[in-house]
Amino acid sequence: MTLQHIKDHELQCRDALFARAKRIVIKVGSAVLTSSNSMNLEVIENIAKEISFLHSSGREVILVSSGAVAAGKNKISFIDDRDISLQEKQALAAIGQSHLMHIYDSAFLKHGKNIAQALLTHADLAHRDRYVNFKNTIFTLLKMGVIPIINENDTVATEELQFGDNDNLGALVTNLIEADMFICLTDVDCLYTANPGTDSTAEPVHTVVEVNEDIERMAGHSKSALGTGGMRSKILAAKKVAAGGGSSFIGPGRMEGILQKIFSGEMIGTFFLPQGRKLQGRKQWIAFVLKPKGILELDCGAGQAICCNGRSLLPSGIVSVKGKFNVGESVQCVDSEGRIIAIGTTNYRAEEIDRIKGSNSGKIQNILGHRESDVVIHRDNLVIL
């Protein structure tokens, strides 16, 4: 197959996925919504118009929006461009969130659309029952014809409760509600092979079949002035969505008619194809939502058994244990060189695993005085990375 045939095939896949997308998550960052620390009402009006267009075409649309802190800074004149403390940031988020939602409400009402606000911390998705309840709430709002607007609850989020950035939050929401597509509207045109500001040979990348190490290197580590994520965080978000069976798009959020243009087939931005093999919902939750609390180093045989043979992790294959964690919490599995090969939820506490590591499963009862399971991590709770 020639290079042109490959490009034609990728273009056909892209057009087909846009045409089939019925449930869409759209993420808009602070860099798009603001200009010189002020809310850019013209851009917000355009985004509301574009999302309303998609909604009126019979699609379900969820908006993940940053901008609360920027909106708060817009209202409090004595906050300058200096670095602000965590407490100030959380206070600004409290001030700005209501202002941001008022702007959105006014913008969407012009197109006859109702919106709903949902604020999340990581704990809301890390607890399985709250995770499911949030999913059900979003589905109910969609049935009502409402456009949910989701943001991280910056007012109460600490480092332990944070998603990291709204790119990650958008990817998690996309997988949670089994959306067909994740659209990330940002302040860059697309992914480039190199930094176009410093490298004249940089070329745009319009279609990504798989997010591999080469693609991640292209992303770099740049961040905008108001946002928390850069292109790298958006690439990793697209990688998570691909694992969940969805496609992603990264492109210019300030472009007039951006959504209508990409859904009509214009070659704008960068499109990411979904993976052929989709992770199950629970395994997505384990792989992408839970924050690992410890590390298990495995020997070569255990790594082979879980990665190539689809086996559960036995205590006999564990070399060492790091961290403090309880039953049901997430841990990383690494090889002898420290490379992460899997992640899963354990059947035993860290100190118990440390006592039974390297032992046959039949000796668990004698060592611990009880035996909850013959395996440390069951294959149903183990995700190969």
Q: Are residues 206 and 319 in the same domain?
A: no
Range name among 59-68, 193-202, 238-247, 332-341 with the lowest pLDDT average: 193-202
Which pairs with CB-CB distance under 8 Å and at least 24 residues apart come from 101-104? 101/149, 103/39, 103/41, 103/44, 103/71, 104/44, 104/48, 104/63, 104/65, 104/149
Q: Are residues 262 and 334 in the same domain?
A: no
Is the distance from CB of 293 to CB of 329 less than 8 angstroms?
yes
pLDDT tens column, 305-338 = 999 999 999 999 999 999 999 999 999 999 999 9
pLDDT tens column, 33-59 = 988 768 899 999 999 999 999 999 999
pLDDT tens column, 99-142 = 999 999 999 999 999 999 999 888 888 888 888 899 999 999 99
Of 226, 251, 283, which residue constitutes the final position of a domain? 283
CATH code of the domain in which 321 resides: 2.30.130.10
pLDDT of residue 277: 74
pLDDT of residue 376: 97
- Its domain, for residue 217, covers 3-283
Mean of pLDDT values over 157-175: 75
Is pLDDT of 356 > 80? yes
Is the distance from CB of 334 to CB of 341 less than 8 angstroms?
yes
Mean pLDDT of the chain: 88
pLDDT of residue 117: 95
Q: Are residues 97 and 244 in the same domain?
A: yes
pLDDT tens column, 177-214 = 999 999 999 988 888 888 777 888 888 899 998 888 88
- The C-alpha angle 280, 135, 254, rounded to 5 degrees, equals 95
CATH code of the domain in which 198 resides: 3.40.1160.10
Of 283, 302, 332, which residue constitutes the final position of a domain? 283
- Please state, in angstroms and rounded to a whole number, the distance separating the CA atoms of residues 115 and 298: 49
Q: Are residues 296 and 238 in the same domain?
A: no
Q: Are residues 40 and 73 in the same domain?
A: yes
Q: Are residues 200 and 240 in the same domain?
A: yes
pLDDT tens column, 252-271 = 999 999 999 999 989 999 99
Q: Are residues 367 and 348 in the same domain?
A: yes
Q: Are residues 104 and 161 in the same domain?
A: yes
Is the distance from CB of 131 to CB of 46 less than 8 angstroms?
no
Is the distance from CB of 348 to CB of 325 less than 8 angstroms?
no
Q: Are residues 91 and 230 in the same domain?
A: yes
Q: What is the C-alpha end-to-end distance of the chain, expressed in Å? A: 30
pLDDT tens column, 286-309 = 888 888 999 999 999 999 999 999
pLDDT tens column, 171-185 = 999 999 999 999 999
Q: Are residues 337 and 222 in the same domain?
A: no
Q: For residue 15, what pLDDT band results from cuts at 50, 70 and 90? A: confident
Q: Are residues 83 and 118 in the same domain?
A: yes
DSSP E strands: which ranges in the chain? 23-28, 34-35, 38-39, 60-65, 115-120, 147-152, 181-186, 191-192, 204-205, 207-208, 247-252, 270-272, 294-298, 318-323, 330-334, 340-345, 382-384
Of 283, 316, 334, which residue constitutes the final position of a domain? 283
The token pair at 97 is 């969130």
Task: Look at the chain and report how many structural domains it folds into.
Answer: 2
Q: Are residues 275 and 306 in the same domain?
A: no
